[in-house]
Amino acid sequence: MHTRDLAERTALITGGASGIGLACAHELAARGAHVVIADRDADAAARAAATVDGEAWVVDLSDTRALDDLTRDADILINNAGIQRVAPIEDFVPDDFRLIHRLMVEAPFLLVRAVLPGMYARGWGRIINISSVHGLRASPFKSAYVSAKHALEGLSKTAALEGGPHGVTSNCVDPGYVRTPLVEKQIADQARVHGIPESEVVQKVMLTESAIKRLVEPAEVASLVGWLASEHAGMVTGASYTMDGGWSAR
């Protein structure tokens, strides 16, 4: 059931052209929000924006110097854009590590920094950070991703403490493996580093820790994001909501 409870709100969604971000765009638009899709993929961003009657902002969020002086207005910020690289630490390409930290830690910080003044002026804001079960737990061969998501959790909690007196909440959403292109792209890499066939990666690597043996659907993540953006979640801040099929219960 959808109400248009987010009418009058503007939502900025990074990485909104695909996967979880695209599902969030649909969820928030269905609830009445005006959606801005920030993505480096111009064609996909334009297509996604058209489906939600929103707008596209074509931007490479790993070029963080260009975001230093950004001014941008949004009532809801979804820090979602992310990538993955899978390799043992001793083989991990240093520039890949830096890229992941620019895109998944520095850019969220700079976007929060850019939108907070407007949120504070209006006395209302929602920062929703798409973290991961890897914001709370580690897995081998994901040093950059796991450390970036742990940093995002810290940024989110700090923003919660600073934003609280101004009506701004900040939370993390922490899914297990979600059925998106990001996961499909890493199956070959996971097979290689774990020395198993690609056909066994989902069951033997991705779902081993999970009590529920299936991938999360993007729409399930988006429904939690929609609730966190709503008035009902006004007292929820500094929290990390897992949607990991029980992985982090271990």
State the catalytic residues.
Answer: 145
User: From CA 59, how far away is CA 62, in angstroms rounded?
Assistant: 9
Report the nearest approach of ligand NAD to the CB of residue 101 (Å): 12
Q: Which is nearer to ligand NAD, 30 or 44 (CB)?
A: 44
Residues 13, 22: Cα–Cα separation, whole Å: 8
Q: Residue 174 pairs with which residues in a beta bridge?
A: 242
Torsion over CA: 184, 189, 193, 195 (sign):
positive
**Among the residues of the chain, which ranges form H helices?**
19-30, 42-51, 94-101, 107-122, 143-163, 181-194, 201, 218-229
Q: What CA–CA distance (Å, rounded) separates 73 from 76? A: 9
Q: In DSSP terms, which residues pair with 79 in a beta bridge?
A: 129
Which residues 6+ apart lie within 8 Å of 50 measured at CB?
none
Q: Which is nearer to ligand NAD, 18 or 147 (CB)?
A: 18
User: Measured from the CB atom, is 214 or 232 closer to ligand NAD?
Assistant: 214
Closest separation in Å from C-beta 103 to ligand NAD: 5
- Interface ranges with ligand NAD (CB under 6 A): 15, 17-21, 39-41, 44, 59-62, 80-83, 103, 130, 132, 175, 177-178, 180-183
- One-letter amino acid at 158 equals T
C-beta of 3: minimal distance to ligand NAD in Å?
Answer: 26
Which CB, 83 or 196, lies closer to ligand NAD? 83
**Closest CB to ligand NAD among 75 and 106?**
106
Q: Which residues pair with 57 in a beta bridge?
A: 38
Q: How far is the CB of 81 from ligand NAD (least distance, A)?
A: 4
What is the closest distance, in whole angstroms, from the C-beta atom of residue 155 to ligand NAD in the complex? 13
